[in-house]
Amino acid sequence: MANYDNDDLADYDVSDEEFNEDNLNDEDYDKLYRMLPSLKSSLSSYNNEIPESELKETFPSNPKSGSSGSSKLVALAQLRPLHPNTNASPGAVQTASSRSLSSLSKLMLARKNGSQMSSSFPASIPSGVGVGVRLGLEPGSKSADILLKLRSKKATGTPQNDGISTKPKLVLGKGVSLGKFTLKKPQVKPVLTHESDIESLTEKCTKSSSVSVLSPPELTRIQSPWNEIKTKIHLDGSKLLLTTNSIIPIAPLISRKRKSLSQMERESQLKRHFSQLLYPLTNLEINVETIAKAKTNFSRPSPDDKILQAQNDVFNKDMKNLKISKPVEAAATAAAGTKDKHPPKPTKPFKKIDLVSELSSNKKLTKPHKSFVVIGHIDAGKSTLMGRLLFDLGVVDAKTVNKLVREAEKSGKGSFALAWIMDQTSEERSRGVTVDICATSFDTTTTRFTAIDAPGHKDFVPQMISGVSQADLALLVIDSINGEFEAGFFMDGQTKEHTLLARSLGIEKICVVVNKMDKENWSQDRFEEIKTQLLDFLTGSEVGFSSEQVDFVPISGLTGVNVVKNDHAVKAFDWYQGPTLVNYLESVGLTSVAIDKDTISKLSEEDFNLAINDIFEVSSSEFGVTGKVSRGLIQTGETVMVSPTKDYLQIQKMLIDNEPVDVAISGEIATMHFKLNQLANKSIDELVVGDLISKVDSPISSVKKFTCDVDLFNMSKPLLVGTPFVLFRNNRQVPARISEIIEIKGSKKKKKHLVSKQQALVVIEVNDDRLLPITKYSDNKVLGRIVIRREGSTIGAGLVTEI
């Protein structure tokens, strides 16, 4: 631990962040020491050399811990009901430590603790520039291990129960007779606790509830209709009793006629209420038609109400006073009603060009184009690899890199200099984590590339998915350092999830880039070891790539060896005879690259589709969108339609790789400029990432429900009809749920839930006030695919069969 260099010290955010147990208040101090032994013992089997100080740092109330500041600590301390002893069991330890630390802040913590060793900076970067290199096996990474361990424990473990405990359980006393409806004072009854985790949870709940109500027990006198006896209701703050059990005690039921709504009607009413309840008051402007339409949906107001309502509407523009009985449909039909009636006539391209000669003579378009996304577990070196590629190919010059190195070193993140070429936002730079995708394009002599850097952290998988949706090929970056590969692969790391996603979203080829080989001394054994394991996994039943779809290239992104060039200067790397990464990228065969007469005529007949992946203002009167063309072709001057908003826009200008073009074809990532005033609400906030663009005469349907074949992965709990999840269609994400299970493959039983590894035909319902534009898989192999994520894990994928 003594060999901190300057880099480390700078990396260690000084200010008030340093953990010092003396700064804890008494309560937390006590708790820390109560927790410590159990934490130690629970980790001892895993790694018993963890310094105590690092264990302490994982203590959740530690003011240093990322997102939760000390103000939060105060908040917790104030609001948390004090209940002694509950924190004594190891179960409590893990619950507590998972409490306020998001896994991301754990990572930050681990990073801050990480000690680094400086290494001589690779020769290919201007000398005089030092970049620290992080060493995964230094003590610092142990704390990451602890955290990983804790995290995985959180995922699978259940709160432990320390044997038999007495549990105050509020139940109705035996005095509740069946004959009379008499509520008696609830008794506190000790109950033996066995195995289950519910029990221990309940126990905590009950305990905290009995303390959390501060006001003294209250006596309420309420007359009972049955026996005219004044019943005492004793409140121990036990709403549990009152809310739950007040319904359960049984008294004789005297049947009685009641002309009433059927149960079904009530239920459907209830459902309606539920959707009303969650009806969002958006900040988007709603036009007059929408309101008018919505008003027609009012249910039977009396004449008086109509007048009242009209007055309301005039004086009160606040949406919350509008009653919209079926908000989603109302908004949708209103939107459709206003814009749908007369789709404009298609407009002619600005320039009349002969497509065949244009496409076969345009230098840009004749060079094959490939787009790839860089994926993999957090810190595998994805952004660094991208930076290296751009630098060594001369896309980014030495001056820029020098500047970044200086800036990075100044903020103590020297080793991230190359990553900063892609990591542009202040957030990403200060945290050293990629948050969003970043696309960039470059040329080699033979090929045009679009490269997309994706984030590795679990929280940013949605962004990573939108990156994958723009690519034909994926580079899966693996940290080869002993222990790191394993962490990303076996624990709940992202190596597996990213791979599954790439496969489910239709990536054609995957190249495993075994990175940081400099740290493994370019060992062939290590490379082969990783290759064997990953090949097994990638071609196994879970993922299902064929072995022709998978390739392996060993590199070091930081030093640059075997990225753009391999000068065979590294002796230990002599064993490798394969291509450099760039050679591989140039030569890899993809289905979509060659352009000839046939493809051109095929493309002009296809419907044109583009999925919006970025929306931005160009000037006060113009805006732009960028996205990948998934089918067909389009020319500047043509009018396109946006789904689901049904905005009709004429393309003012088109760019590919930042250069103006007249035509864009399938496979290209194109930017289009439009006039802002052609948008119905004149605001780009009306569009979202994932909206689809088509030609006026071949509109894309937008739906609330569709049928699809789903394939479920491993899940910790079943997928129920009605369970909310996040649905990804290519780069669009939207909350959704299964509304019906039509058929479970290999089972005749009618079920309302699906379990791991099942395949089923289901109806999926979108839970958003905006419709989802989508196509059948048979119509578009890109836009007809879906992926399902729940509570931060990918649990299934599917193909759209019916819309």
Partner 1 sequence: MKLIRQHFEKDKSGSTTLIPQDKEDLWELYNLIQKGDEITLSTHRNIKKATLGSGVAQGKDKGKTERKLLTLKMSVEDIEYTPSEEVLRIRGKTVEPNEYVPMQSYHTAEVQLQKQFTLYKDEWDEIAYGIVVKVCSIEEKAEVGAIVMEEGVAHLCLITDNMTVLRNKIEKSIPRKRRGDGGGSKHDQAMEKFYQLVNTTMLRNFDLDKLKAIILASPGFVAANLLKHVLAEAVKNNDKTVMQNKSKFIVVHSSTGYLQGLEESLKDPSIQRQLSTTKFAKEASVFETFQKVLNEDDDRAWYGPTECARAVEMGAVKYLMIADALFRSDDIGVRKHYIALADAVKNNGGETLVFLSLHESGEQLNQLTGIAVLLNYPVPDLDEEDD
Ligand X SMILES: Nc1nc2c(ncn2[C@@H]2O[C@H](COP(=O)(O)OP(=O)(O)OP(=O)(O)O)[C@@H](O)[C@H]2O)c(=O)[nH]1
| 204-212, 260-268, 380-388, 574-582 -> range binding ligand X (CB under 6 A) | 380-388
Residues 444-463: x where in contact with ligand X by CB under 6 A, - otherwise, as a string: -----------xxx------
- Residue 370 or 382: which CB sits closer to Mg ion? 382
Distance CA 503, CA 550 (A): 11
Contact call for residues 502 and 375 (beta carbons, < 8 A): yes
Task: Assess 433 for contact with ligand X (CB under 6 A).
Answer: yes
Contact call for residues 757 and 714 (beta carbons, < 8 A): yes
Q: Which of residues 137-166 bind ligand X (CB under 6 A)?
A: none
Size of the site for partner 1 (CB under 8 A): 145
Task: Assess 382 for contact with ligand X (CB under 6 A).
Answer: yes
Binding partner of residue 255 among ligand X, partner 1, Mg ion, none, CB cut-off 5 to 8 Å per kind: partner 1
Both tokens assigned to 452? 């997309």
Binding partner of residue 15 among ligand X, Mg ion, partner 1, none, CB cut-off 5 to 8 Å per kind: none
Task: Assess 156 for contact with partner 1 (CB under 8 A).
Answer: no
Task: Assess 669 for contact with partner 1 (CB under 8 A).
Answer: no
Q: What is the dihedral of CA 629, 631, 636, 641, to 10 degrees?
A: -90
- Residue 494 or 775: which CB sits closer to ligand X? 494
Minimum gap (Å) between residue 205 Cβ and partner 1: 4
Task: Assess 541 for contact with partner 1 (CB under 8 A).
Answer: no
| 87-95, 176-184, 377-385, 793-801 -> range binding ligand X (CB under 6 A) | 377-385
Minimum gap (Å) between residue 180 Cβ and partner 1: 10
| Helices 303-315 + 288-296 axis angle, to 10 | 160
Task: Assess 720 for contact with partner 1 (CB under 8 A).
Answer: yes
Task: Assess 312 for contact with partner 1 (CB under 8 A).
Answer: no
Minimum gap (Å) between residue 515 Cβ and Mg ion: 12
Q: Which of residues 103-142 bind ligand X (CB under 6 A)?
A: 133-134
Distance CA 296, CA 291 (A): 9
Residues 274-313: x where in contact with ligand X by CB under 6 A, - otherwise, as a string: ----------------------------------------
Task: Assess 397 for contact with partner 1 (CB under 8 A).
Answer: no
Distance CA 625, CA 634 (A): 14
Write the single-letter amino acid at 84.
P
Distance CA 458, CA 653 (A): 37
Binding partner of residue 378 among ligand X, Mg ion, partner 1, none, CB cut-off 5 to 8 Å per kind: ligand X
Binding partner of residue 416 among Mg ion, partner 1, ligand X, none, CB cut-off 5 to 8 Å per kind: ligand X
Distance CA 460, CA 476 (A): 16
| Helices 494-504 + 461-468 axis angle, to 10 | 40
Minimum gap (Å) between residue 618 Cβ and partner 1: 11
**Beta-sheet pairing, 448-453 with 369-375:** parallel
Task: Assess 495 for contact with ligand X (CB under 6 A).
Answer: no
Distance CA 169, CA 190 (A): 7
Please list, in sequence order, all residues whose beta carbon lies within 8 angstroms of the beta carbon of residue 80, skipping any fewer than 6 positions away.
none
| 87-95, 554-562, 605-613, 658-666 -> range binding ligand X (CB under 6 A) | 554-562
Task: Assess 196 for contact with partner 1 (CB under 8 A).
Answer: yes
Both tokens assigned to 735? 């909350």
- Residue 337 or 578: which CB sits closer to ligand X? 578
DSSP letters, 134-162, are E-TTSHHHHHHHHHHHHHHHHHH------
| 74-82, 287-295, 344-352, 489-497 -> range binding partner 1 (CB under 8 A) | 74-82
DSSP letters, 216-265, are PP-EEEEE-TTT-PEEEEE-SS-HIIIIIITTSS--PPPP-------HHH
Minimum gap (Å) between residue 229 Cβ and partner 1: 12
R_g of the chain computed on alpha carbons: 31
Q: What 3-state DSSP class applies to 51? A: coil
Distance CA 359, CA 666 (A): 12
Contact pick of 378, 464, 634, 693 for ligand X (by CB under 6 A): 378
Distance CA 289, CA 335 (A): 8
Contact pick of 434, 470, 504, 609 for ligand X (by CB under 6 A): 434
Residues 507-546: x where in contact with ligand X by CB under 6 A, - otherwise, as a string: --------xx-xx---------------------------
Question: Which residues lie near ligand X (CB under 6 A)?
Answer: 133-134, 378-384, 415-416, 419, 433-434, 455-457, 515-516, 518-519, 556-558
